[in-house]
Structure 1
Amino acid sequence: MNTIETATIIQSELDKAAVEQATSGWMEVNEKLVKYTGGAEVKIPSLDMDGMADYDHTNGFVQGSVNFQYETKKMTQDRGRSFSFDENDVDETNFVLTASTVMGEFQRTKVVPEIDAYRYSTIAAACIKKGKASGGYTADEATILQELYYDIAAVQAIVGQNTPLVITIDSMVAAILSMSEKLSKKLDITDFKQGDVTLKVRSLDGIHPLIPVSSDRMKTEYLFKDGVTSGQEAGGFAPTENSKSINWIITPRKAPIAVSKTDKMRIFDPETNQKARAWAMDYRKFHDIWIPARKVEQCFVNVKEELA
């Protein structure tokens, strides 16, 4: 078996699935525009141009400039695990199937939720720091619609009425809208593009897509366990003692810029593996999210608990 080719195929499929499975997958930059050759660095396209100028009847158009360049970003989240399969349980014939199944499940249940949690908490922290957040609201049927409309209006006062917005909402809060006979009339089904798939999601007034997210991913602060420190051996993530619950996050669709990449995977057959008579796989995921300061001003976060 060609372990390098197998690792490349699995890696490619994992990256594609990560975008489609993450509730925050819509934040991912179009991978065709991103340059990635491995490691923690990624190159993201940046476009800047001059604004309109007066047309001169004598000299004609005023020359403008367009600056298109790739900006190098370093992903701060460097996470991974090593897995092994005993050679008596898995042979070369079924290794690919077993490895693909195990790694796919690992990504779906462990990796994707962590990526979501990191992104939402990062956006929340940035908004709270900039004063683009409100706290102390417990969602209920009588007031949720008014609260949501006020927060949307606060964002539209800055970005205008025609900027596409995305509302990321706690699934339990979203249920209040969906289960209310009165409020549900405000919701429509809308096509929502994420990666290579088009999802059917509920939208407010048929305009603003509502992306429901499980409560465990909607906190303002997390501990991302290192897997080594006592009490953190199992890895993963958990809310900190000071974390607060996010009701919803309102952002222009193009405000957050996120990237997640599976670094070059390595597969070792039992003859090569020095640690045990077993197949071994090294999985390493780099990811991060960036929101320019001027874009944070265009976002808004609503938090259940009072903000300090």
Structure 2
Amino acid sequence: MANSIAYTQNYTSVIDEVYKRAAVSACLNSPRRMVRAGRNAKEIMIPKIEVMGLGDYTRNVGYKTGAITYGFETKTFNYDRGIRLLADVMDVEEAGVLDCFVEAGSELQRTQVAPEADAFTFAEIASHEGVTVAEEDLSSAEAEDVLAGLRTVTSEMDELEVTTGSRILFITPTLKGVLDDFSLANPNRSKAVLTRFSRIVEVPQSRFYTAIDLNSGEEEKFGYAKAATGADINWMVVERSAVIKFDKHVASRMFSPDELETLDSYMMKYRKYGIVELLDNKLDGVRVSAKPTA
């Protein structure tokens, strides 16, 4: 009788995970002093100061008298999101993947938290009062058209004396590819306008909208989606100091079945509470180009 040897089954350490990039808007995070200022309140008060200009000095009268205007602008935390994930003990043990929650936590950050944080950041900036969104259909645009638009924006910012050292260009991978191909094909043609940005960051279109809806989790609708009034953003130029962006509270914890009273399950909780806002006096440091909505 011939041998009959059954092959064993085993799990590999390779995980079939979806493709997602890490967060791309982290370069806009506010400095630590801003984080400290917003530590203990629902709102933060940001000082605004204006002073009058110079006048003639006359020898018999002396100085002209000017004035100082000192006030505050109030910004309210506007992002409060979270999720609870459960897995029954038997489901976990019988599947033979006791470390699934470690992988689930990593997957949550990469595929859900990071994309939503980016989408919320760009939508809040683009929809902020005082920010003008230029409608441009660049779906079939040539590189020269994109470069011309960026030159117009940088020239406007230069004339408005917007800080040059921290301007960031956020752009879709498709348009960045158009610029890259142009540079390779035309090495002697000017693309000097790109040097006017301290950094160029590619943003997937799925995170790059002028408005989004944050789904509540009711009726199995989670995450975010492009709003009905939203448009696809082509590119966005942001002077970094114009943005208030930080997380006041991030809580991530895993619970064993012994810690739960009503369920014999593993549980993971995640919550993120923060703010994305713009400073009122620095709106000149933001420019947005988006596809027409109609």
Same fold (TM over 0.5): yes
State the 1:241 CA deviation. Answer: 2.6
Q: Unpaired segments of 5 or more residues in structure 2?
A: 1-20, 58-67
What residue is the counterpart of 1:82 in the other structure? Answer: 84
Q: Superposition pairs for residues 236-247 of structure 1, below 5 Å?
A: 236-247=223-234
The structure 1 residue matched to 2:240, chosen from 250, 253, 262, is 253
Which whole-Å CA distance do the structure 1 matches of 2:237 and 2:176 have between them?
14
What residue is the counterpart of 2:256 in the other structure? Answer: 269
Which whole-Å CA distance do the structure 2 matches of 1:267 and 1:221 have between them?
33
What residue is the counterpart of 1:8 in the other structure? Answer: none
Which whole-Å CA distance do the structure 1 matches of 2:39 and 2:162 have between them?
38
Q: Are 1:110 and 2:100 an aligned pair?
A: no
Residue identity in the other structure for 1:222: I
Which whole-Å CA distance do the structure 2 matches of 1:170 and 1:100 have between them?
32
Counterpart of 1:23 in 2: which secondary structure? coil
Could you say if the C-alpha distance between residues 166 and 279 of structure 1 is closer, same or farther in structure 2, counting changes exceeding 3 Å?
Answer: same
State the 1:175 CA deviation. Answer: 1.2
What residue is the counterpart of 2:203 in the other structure? Answer: 213
State the 1:263 CA deviation. Answer: 3.5
Q: Deviations over 1:4-30 (max 9, x none)?
A: xxxxxxxxxxxxxxxx94211111112
State the 1:234 CA deviation. Answer: 3.5
What residue is the counterpart of 1:22 in the other structure? Answer: 23
TM-score by length of 2: 0.72
What residue is the counterpart of 1:130 in the other structure? Answer: 130
Contact 1:187 1:206 in 2 (8 A): no
Could you say if the C-alpha distance between residues 234 and 149 of structure 1 is closer, same or farther in structure 2, counting changes exceeding 3 Å?
Answer: same
Structure 1, 208-217 or 160-169: larger mean CA deviation: 160-169
Residue identity in the other structure for 2:104: V
What residue is the counterpart of 2:63 in the other structure? Answer: none
What residue is the counterpart of 1:170 in the other structure? Answer: 172
Which whole-Å CA distance do the structure 2 matches of 1:45 and 1:103 have between them?
35
State the 1:51 CA deviation. Answer: 8.9
State the 1:135 CA deviation. Answer: 1.0
State the 1:74 CA deviation. Answer: 3.5
Q: Are 1:284 and 2:271 an aligned pair?
A: yes
Contact 1:34 1:45 in 2 (8 A): no
The structure 2 residue matched to 1:155, chosen from 157, 160, 175, is 157
What residue is the counterpart of 1:224 in the other structure? Answer: 214
Aligned residues: 262
* Structure showing greater Rg: 2
Residue identity in the other structure for 1:137: D
State the 1:269 CA deviation. Answer: 2.3
State the 1:37 CA deviation. Answer: 5.6
TM-score by length of 1: 0.69
Which whole-Å CA distance do the structure 1 matches of 2:146 and 2:123 have between them?
22
What residue is the counterpart of 1:200 in the other structure? Answer: none
State the 1:50 CA deviation. Answer: 6.9
Which whole-Å CA distance do the structure 2 matches of 1:285 and 1:53 have between them?
47
State the 1:44 CA deviation. Answer: 8.0
Which whole-Å CA distance do the structure 1 matches of 2:103 and 2:44 have between them?
31
State the 1:250 CA deviation. Answer: 1.1
State the 1:137 CA deviation. Answer: 3.5
State the 1:287 CA deviation. Answer: 2.6
State the 1:161 CA deviation. Answer: 6.5
* CA RMSD in angstroms, aligned pairs only: 3.9
Structure 1, 114-123 or 43-52: larger mean CA deviation: 43-52
Could you say if the C-alpha distance between residues 164 and 51 of structure 1 is closer, same or farther in structure 2, counting changes exceeding 3 Å?
Answer: farther
Counterpart of 2:285 in 1: which secondary structure? coil
Contact 2:169 2:197 in 1 (8 A): no
Could you say if the C-alpha distance between residues 261 and 160 of structure 1 is closer, same or farther in structure 2, counting changes exceeding 3 Å?
Answer: closer
Which whole-Å CA distance do the structure 1 matches of 2:282 and 2:274 have between them?
20
Q: Deviations over 1:55-88 (max 9, x none)?
A: 9xxxxxxxxx9x9x9x985422111110123334
Could you say if the C-alpha distance between residues 24 and 44 of structure 1 is closer, same or farther in structure 2, counting changes exceeding 3 Å?
Answer: farther
State the 1:207 CA deviation. Answer: 4.3
Which whole-Å CA distance do the structure 2 matches of 1:74 and 1:251 have between them?
21
